């Protein structure tokens, strides 16, 4: 099974788009997305220095545009991707790349949202001097206890031995003087405490724009940063992307879900390397491919052919299928026989895992065509549970 992932802020490096822009089609598409974002992404991807592309308002649109356009290079006929990609996920702002790639939102909508996201987060960062520090190694429980003691947030949980602390500059300085045993602290070159309460004003801004975005249920399962769950409702994908600005990135749980899905290969969109590096350490036995330059495209396509298989969602229109958000035991809410009518936003059941119980909603309602699982069945993330006809039509 193939999973495509998109990196978050901090992955960008000066000039990383130089080789890509040798392709006139890529260059024209980047010019178009530059117009949508209101930024000269061609300049920022080629000539701008590290300080210029460190700016949150620049880095985020640059990353999303790069991932989306590289995906079009990898799959010149986008429909081909749906026959090979089992799931998608993005780290932090990379979730917008993933959402557009799965067709939950359009590329243009993603660029408008990331433009406003970047500006709003930059404004929020300017209100109070904040930053982030990577905590490498150490005992997990001790690291989390130290963060709590200093009022810091574990803003990124990237798997064993990789937690990113975020908070005020003063809190981080105190933490540095009281570091957990056997842990190495690496201050990050970022403009603020992303994915913490300090970003709450940015959530309010982004939510206003999101209300005008029309969504579609994704063609490929989207693995959410919030809790690693598979999200199958376009409205929920967008809602989570908005809220995630001020909430921690649980990439550790995303990787757990990938393993539950049976992933065999992970391909990272440019500027690649960060997420495949994490996967190499945390997901033993899973092959990785970091797509960095266009001369790798043939090898990347071969990698997709090797690991690719059609998503379960690709076999039927997604608006008539509800899937499991997580691994666990499915419990049906009530006896809904074939032909029964379900009102919009009704609960059809829940998935009970070792951590929690997650309700499964029918956002659009409809008529039950058939159950694909039985009460008490063990289910995996993204597994189809029930097939519906929309709006109660037979």
Active site residues: 92, 195
The alpha carbon of 22 is separated from its chain's Cα centroid by a whole number of angstroms, namely 29
The secondary structure of 148-197, three-state, reads HHCCCEEEEECCCCEEEEEEEHHHHHHHHCCCCCCEEEEECCCCCCCCCH
- What is the Cα–Cα distance from 224 to 251, expressed in whole angstroms? 9
Would you call the peptide bond into 221 cis, given omega within 30 degrees of 0 as the criterion? no
In terms of Cβ atoms closer than 10 Å to its own Cβ (0-12, 13-18, 19+), residue 120 is buried
Angle subtended by helix axes 200-210 and 234-243, to nearest 10: 150
| The pairing of beta strand 341-342 with beta strand 366-371 | antiparallel
- What is the Cα–Cα distance from 3 to 268, expressed in whole angstroms? 9
- What is the Cα–Cα distance from 318 to 310, expressed in whole angstroms? 14
The two three-digit tokens of residue 379, written as one number: 């289910």
């Amino acid at each position: 099974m193939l999973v495509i992932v998109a990196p978050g802020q901090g992955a960008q490096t000066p000039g990383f788009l130089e080789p890509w822009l040798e392709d006139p089609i890529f260059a024209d598409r980047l010019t178009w997305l530059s117009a949508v974002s209101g930024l000269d992404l061609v300049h920022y991807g080629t000539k701008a220095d590290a300080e210029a592309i460190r700016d949150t308002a620049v880095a985020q649109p640059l990353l999303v545009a790069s991932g989306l356009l590289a995906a079009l290079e990898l799959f010149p006929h986008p429909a081909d991707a749906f026959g090979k990609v089992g799931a998608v996920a993005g780290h932090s702002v990379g979730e917008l790349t993933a959402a557009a790639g799965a067709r939950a939102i359009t590329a243009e909508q993603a660029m408008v949202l990331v433009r406003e996201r970047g500006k709003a987060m930059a404004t929020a960062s300017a209100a109070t001097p904040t930053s982030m520090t990577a905590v490498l190694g150490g005992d997990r429980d001790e690291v989390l206890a130290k963060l709590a003691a200093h009022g810091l947030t574990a803003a990124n949980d990237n798997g064993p031995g990789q937690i990113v602390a975020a908070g005020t500059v003063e809190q981080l300085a105190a933490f540095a003087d009281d570091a957990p045993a056997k842990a190495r602290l690496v201050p990050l070159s970022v403009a603020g405490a992303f994915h913490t309460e300090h970003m709450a004003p940015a959530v309010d801004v982004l939510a206003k724009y999101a209300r005008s975005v029309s969504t579609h249920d994704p063609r490929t399962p989207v693995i959410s940063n919030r809790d690693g769950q598979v999200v199958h409702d376009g409205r929920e994908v967008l809602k989570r992307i908005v809220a995630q600005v001020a909430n921690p990135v649980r990439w550790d749980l995303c990787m757990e879900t990938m393993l539950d899905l049976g992933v065999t290969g992970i391909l990272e969109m440019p500027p690649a390397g960060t997420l495949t590096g994490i996967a190499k350490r945390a997901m033993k036995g899973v092959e990785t491919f970091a797509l960095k330059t266009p001369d790798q495209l043939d090898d990347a396509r071969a990698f997709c052919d090797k690991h690719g298989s059609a998503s379960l969602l690709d076999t039927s229109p997604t608006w008539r299928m509800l899937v499991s958000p997580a691994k666990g035991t499915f419990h049906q809410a009530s006896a809904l026989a074939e032909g029964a009518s379900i009102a919009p936003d009704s609960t059809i059941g829940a998935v009970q895992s070792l951590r929690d119980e997650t309700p499964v909603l029918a956002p659009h309602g409809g008529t039950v065509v058939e159950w694909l699982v039985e009460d008490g069945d063990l289910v995996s993330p993204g597994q189809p549970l029930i097939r519906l006809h929309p709006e109660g039509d037979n």
